[in-house]
Amino acid sequence: MQALTNRAKQVDRRPMTFAEKLYIPAIAKGMGITFKHIFQRKATVSYPDQKREFSPVFRGLHILNRDEEGRERCTACGLCAVACPAEAITMEAAERKPGEEHLYREEKYAARYEINMLRCIFCGFCEEACPKDAIYLSETFAPANYQRKGFIYGKDDLLIPDPKAQNK
Amino acid sequence: MGSIQQIIFMVLSVIALASALGVVLSKNPVTSVLCLIVTFFAIAGHYVMMNAQFLAVVHIIVYAGAIMVLFLYVLMLMNLNAELEPQKRNWLKYAGAISGGALLVVLVAALRDASMPAMSTANNDIGLVHNLGMVLFRQYVVPFEVSSILFLSAMIGAVVIGRKED
Amino acid sequence: MTLLSIDWFFLIEKLLLISVVLVLSLVVAMYATWGERKVAAWIQDRLGPNRAGPAGLLQPLADGGKLFFKEEIIPTNSNRFLFILGPSIAMVVACMTSAVIPWGDTLTIAGREISLQVADVNIGILYIFAVVSMGVYGIMLGGWASNNKYSLLASVRAASQIISYELPMGLALIALLMLTGTLSLKEIVEQQRHGLWNICYQPLGFFIFLVCAFAECNRAPFDLPEAENELNGGYHLEYSSMKLGFFLFAEYINMFISSALMATMYFGGYAFPWMDKLGLSPNMVTILGFVALFIKTLLFIFFFMWVRWTVPRFRYDQLMRLGWRVLIPLALVNMLGTGAVELFKHH
């Protein structure tokens, strides 16, 4: 059989020589290895004090964006749900009523918008598909939860806070 | 110093006798073994009182440290439930009483003749390791060597038996 | 009464020394647990405990406190008396050994010469041997009284392991005794102070003693009595709270004492090179000597840990084979060789 790499080694089944049977050289070698490791860089990241940095292209939890006036950008077109390979996104559209112009930018908006974070594979296709720049992937990850239903994020989990409401 | 020595002697003797009785009277064999160990310690204490430290320590190493461990070892491996114990036969009791009585007679006969020599302070440190070594290797060198050869051959025998397995 | 004619200063001095040595061995054992976790972590590229205090230095206190306040469980079908006796014996025996180790030369304070050794018995080595051979009772009784098959198995293993390894250990010591001609540890150290360390004369004997010390302390790679993954912790499987703590603690004290013993018998004890040529006051030399012995001991403790996190556990038959077929013949050869050389030198 053709080997995939040339690193494969034949198992040595010869009986051990006397020097090998003493085991002392082997033990000494092992102790050398462990001693070397005492001084090597530690792999530990002391978590709460020190956080591991994400890569610049990291894709984390989704957020639903607002425009400058604090209106929701999403128009519930459903392109993100179509683009989603894991079928994690569901939404329900609704028509904007008169007097709600300060809440929703477009005439149609998402009354319900849910992402199942257990299904989501954080590929970022929704972000790419969105024509209104309404959905973005942030740099955090989903925190642990005790129940499955806790991982279905609704609009109140996803929407960023209203900048105007915060200023008040 | 007489009084302190007497007090210690009394205490040690009481411990030795009480634990020796415990060996015979206790129902649980493991407790018996433990009582026997306590007895050995009390006797080792007596050796120390007689300035025979070497003897005391060797007594502890050999009897309390090795032989009793083996006793305990065997007891642990046996299933010593009371129900499984074979019924004691009546003739065993008679045999025990007769042999015990015979031993008593022999002991009384031996003790009647034995004079109790007062402990002389002059050669009191015979039990120290230096003097003991002198006596063993000068006066009793042949029996000592014979017994040590016996032990050595026993040890080598153990190694050989271990080797035979494969 | 003659009771009153006792040298009270002597008594107080000895009591003080005993408490100091006891506290010292307890503190060292405490910090050995911390050291063990740190060494294990470093060898495995981790950081180890670092939350309690700076560098995790308060971790032993936290562990001890936790053990004290844990619920105490005594199994229903266990033998209650023996169950409590087990860890007590283990602890007492572990603490007793430190009495004959010379922690230093004599200090002279206010005209009194104070020896830094609790008892200079003329049979020091045999005393240690006797006490060590008592140590197995703690494990055996604890394991048997638990009324648990794993514990019982561990007890049986411990008994046969310790008895088997006492033999080569004793034989290795006999070779050393032929060389030094004394059983007193203090004299052994004094001889090394004025000559070469015994390791130069007895490398093989030291090696045998070292391996046996590992086995007698139930340390890896000979930690069969407490093999976690086959016996669920072995003899202390049923123990909880401070009784478990005593068993664990006794192991670390044993490690400390055997390290000190190896340093004393083979590596010069409190002697260090050029100690008599530095021109310091005798008290200063004594203190430096104590520091030297302490450093040697700590190095040995580190070695114990280093081996534990490198070498995997032996199988039971391998353990017995090593003891009976390798170490005993080696020790016998070593003993005979030493005897021959000594005989040759004297003629």
Is pLDDT above 60 for B1? no
For A77, other C-beta atoms within 10 Å of its C-beta total 18
Which residues constitute the domain of residue C329? 65-103+118-346
pLDDT band with cut points at 50, 70 and 90 for residue B146: very high
Residue B62: inside a domain: yes
Q: Is C189 helix (H, G, I), strand (E, B) or coil?
A: helix
Length of chain B measured in residues: 166
Least confident window among A123-137, C78-92, C221-235: C221-235
pLDDT band with cut points at 50, 70 and 90 for residue B18: very high
Instruction: Calculate how close chain C gets to B120, using CA atoms only, in Å.
Output: 21
Distance CA C237, CA C150 (A): 8
C contacts of A41 (beta carbons < 8 Å): 45
Domain-terminating residue out of B65, B80, B95: B80
Shortest CA distance from C48: residue in chain A: A44
Q: Is C48 left (phi over 0), alpha (psi -120 to 50) or beta?
A: left
Whether B4 and B63 share a structural domain = yes
Distance CA A60, CA A136 (A): 9
Whether B64 and B133 share a structural domain = no
Shortest CA distance from C321: residue in chain B: B162
Least confident window among A21-25, B140-144, C266-270, C276-280: C276-280
Percent of chain A whose pLDDT exceeds 90:
6
Is pLDDT above 80 for A151? yes
Q: What is the pLDDT of residue C155?
A: 83
The upper half-sphere exposure of residue A124, i.e. CA atoms within 13 Å in the direction of its Cβ, equals: 9
Distance CA C222, CA C154 (A): 12
Assigned token pair, B70: 């083996």
CATH classification at residue A126: 3.30.70.3270
Interface with chain C: mutation pick from B6, B35, B62, B159, highest number of C CBs within 10 Å? B159
| Short-list C195, C176, C172, CA closest to C185 | C176
pLDDT band with cut points at 50, 70 and 90 for residue C7: low
CB C333 within 8 A of CB C171: no
Q: What is the pLDDT of residue C2?
A: 47
pLDDT band with cut points at 50, 70 and 90 for residue A85: very high
Least confident window among B70-79, C5-14, C40-49, C236-245: C5-14
Q: What is the pLDDT of residue B87?
A: 61
Q: What is the pLDDT of residue C5?
A: 58
The Cα-based distances of A78 to A46, A94, A123, A131 in angstroms read 42, 12, 17, 10
Distance CA C267, CA B150 (A): 35
Residue A49: inside a domain: no
Shortest CA distance from C183: residue in chain B: B129
Assigned token pair, C104: 């230093």
Least confident window among A142-146, B147-151, C220-224, C301-305: C220-224
Instruction: Indicate the number of domains in chain B.
Output: 2
Least confident window among A141-150, C164-173, C202-211, C274-283: C274-283
Q: What is the pLDDT of residue A160?
A: 83
Interface check A50 vs C, CB under 8 A: no
Q: Is C66 helix (H, G, I), strand (E, B) or coil?
A: helix
Distance CA A131, CA A144 (A): 31
Residue C45: inside a domain: no
Q: What is the pLDDT of residue A166?
A: 65
Contact: chain C with chain A (3+ CB pairs below 8 Å): yes
Give counts: helices (H), strands (E), chain C.
Answer: 13, 2
Which residues constitute the domain of residue A75? 62-167
Assigned token pair, C245: 């703590």
Residue A54: inside a domain: no
To the nearest whole number, what is the mean pLDDT of chain A? 85
Q: What is the DSSP-derived secondary structure letter of residue A61? A: S
Instruction: Kindly provide the b/e burial profile for residues B154-165, where b requires at least 16 CB atoms within 10 angstroms of the residue's own CB.
Output: ebeeebeeeeee
Distance CA B63, CA B52 (A): 16
Q: Is A14 helix (H, G, I), strand (E, B) or coil?
A: coil
**Which one has a higher pLDDT value, C105 or B144?**
B144
Decide if C144 and B30 are in contact by the 8 Å CB cutoff.
yes
pLDDT band with cut points at 50, 70 and 90 for residue C1: very low
Please report, as a single letter, which amino acid is at residue B138.
Answer: R
Interface check C319 vs A, CB under 8 A: no
The string of pLDDT tens digits covering residues A31-75 is 898 888 888 888 888 888 888 888 888 888 888 888 888 888 888
Residue A132: inside a domain: yes
Please give the model's pTM, rounded to 2 decimal places: 0.77
Contact: chain C with chain B (3+ CB pairs below 8 Å): yes
* Residue A125 among known ligand-binding residues: no
Is pLDDT above 60 for B44? yes
ipTM of this predicted complex?
0.74
| Short-list A43, A29, A52, A26, CA closest to C44 | A43
Residue B150: inside a domain: yes
Decide if C152 and B76 are in contact by the 8 Å CB cutoff.
yes
Decide if A44 and C39 are in contact by the 8 Å CB cutoff.
no
| Short-list C157, C103, C104, C95, CA closest to C132 | C95
pLDDT band with cut points at 50, 70 and 90 for residue A11: confident
Instruction: Indicate the number of domains in chain A.
Output: 1
Please report, as a single letter, which amino acid is at residue A58.
Answer: F
The string of pLDDT tens digits covering residues C106-139 is 777 766 677 777 777 777 788 888 888 888 888 8
Please report, as a single letter, which amino acid is at residue C255.
Answer: M
Is pLDDT above 50 for A25? yes
Residues of B at the C interface, defined by Cβ within 8 angstroms: 1-4, 28, 30, 34, 37, 53-54, 57-58, 60-61, 64-66, 69-70, 72-73, 76-77, 128-130, 155, 158-159, 162-163
pLDDT band with cut points at 50, 70 and 90 for residue A165: low
- The residue-averaged pLDDT of C63-73 equals 85
Which residues constitute the domain of residue B76? 1-80
Instruction: Calculate how close chain B gets to C163, using CA atoms only, in Å.
Output: 7
Distance CA C322, CA C165 (A): 9
Interface check C54 vs A, CB under 8 A: no
Contact partners for chain C, using 3 or more CB pairs closer than 8 A, are A, B
Q: What is the pLDDT of residue B102?
A: 92
The string of pLDDT tens digits covering residues B21-43 is 888 888 778 888 888 888 998 98
Distance CA C278, CA C287 (A): 13
Interface check C40 vs A, CB under 8 A: no
Is pLDDT above 70 for B121? no
- The residue-averaged pLDDT of B114-135 equals 65
Is pLDDT above 60 for B123? no
3-state secondary structure chain B: CHHHHHHHHHHHHHHHHHHHHHHHHCCCHHHHHHHHHHHHHHHHHHHHHCCCHHHHHHHHHHHHHHHHHHHHHHHHHCCCCCCCCCCCCHHHHHHHHHHHHHHHHHHHHHHHHCCCCCCCCCCHHHHCHHHHHHHHHHHCHHHHHHHHHHHHHHHHHHHHHHHHCC
Instruction: Indicate the number of domains in chain C.
Output: 1
CATH classification at residue B76: 1.20.120.1200
To the nearest whole number, what is the mean pLDDT of chain C? 82
